[in-house]
Amino acid sequence: MEILVTGANGFIGRALCAEATRRGIAVIGTVRVKESAVAGVRNKIVSCIDGGTDWGEALVESDVVVHLASRVHVVCESSGDPLHEFRKVNVDGSVNLARSAARAGVRRFVFVSSIGVNGDESGRKPFTAQDPVAPHSPYAVSKYEAELALREVAADTGMELVVIRPPLVYGPNAPGNFGSLVRWLRRGIPLPLGAIDNQRSLVCLDNLVDLILMCVTHPAAAGHTFLVSDGEDVSTTELLHRVGQAIGRSARLIPIPASWLRAMASLAGKQDVARRLCGTLQVDIEETRRQLGWQPPFTMEHGLRKVAEGQE
């Protein structure tokens, strides 16, 4: 069997390619430039992803596609129409890849989406894959639209579709807010997050990779949407203490009430940041366990230890 991994040189892609290779799975990885080539796999250059990308050469010998590449959250958005830009890559690009894959005889398409499709905050009841969707950001909207469009492709072509919606993914040199928090903790910077009484589901990189590879081959995965986590939820405050313990630095946390932080974030136009730090977002992975017989093979301690060993 040979799998095509898009975004092979990304945070998730490199770990996925390495583990797939370790398990004896042949991998074709797409990267944007030659200098980003991933060791141990057959690299193909795909400079951009949109509705017109030519995937022919990359798909010639592929049995399964794992689609990781996407336009992700943009910190300093310069586009006057962000949703349009997200749609070009995440919707049009994904559909074009899926239809090209079906024509090439690919039997299964694994799409890594986002828990943002369910919403920004779960409230009292953890999200399930069957819940009504509530994407708020342009990124999450584009991921949901991609899911819908890919289901149409699967229905039209008979190619199997599997969708995975991860929450925050953490690991060595993780991008985004998690990586920033780790760097601040290393530097001993005080953070106003010592009184956050929320609950967050996260997934360590190794657990996500394990589930993706199960979804590549498991017969019962076809046609389903799966949520994933470590199976252990923590508050933002507890997470920071545990990260600090893992990296050998005591977390310096100031106990400011979450309501104050939300109010200050609102005044600064940073409500989305406050939701991610103060809001509750839990996912129920019971359906993933039942349908696939999957259990998270790694603990949060393992994931945080890997962060400590590899974070720059």
The separation between CA 265 and the C-alpha centre of its own chain, rounded to angstroms, equals 25
* DSSP reduced 3-state for 234: strand
- Do 216 and 66 touch, CB atoms closer than 8 A? yes
User: Which of these, 111, 15, 13, 97, lies nearest to 56 by C-alpha position?
Assistant: 97
User: Where would I find the beta strands (DSSP E) of 185-245?
Assistant: 202-204, 225-227
d(CA 53, CA 5) in angstroms, rounded, equals 15
Is 139 an active-site residue?
yes
The packing angle between helices 176-186 and 271-278, to 10°, is: 70
d(CA 123, CA 108) in angstroms, rounded, equals 34
* DSSP reduced 3-state for 281: strand
User: Which of these, 291, 311, 274, 279, lies nearest to 222 by C-alpha position?
Assistant: 291
Tokens encoding 77: 């958005």
User: Which of these, 129, 283, 296, 125, lies nearest to 201 by C-alpha position?
Assistant: 283
Q: Out of 86, 109, 139, 226, pick the active-site residue.
A: 139
Q: What are phi and psi of 17, to 5 degrees?
A: -60, -40
The residues annotated as belonging to the active site are 139
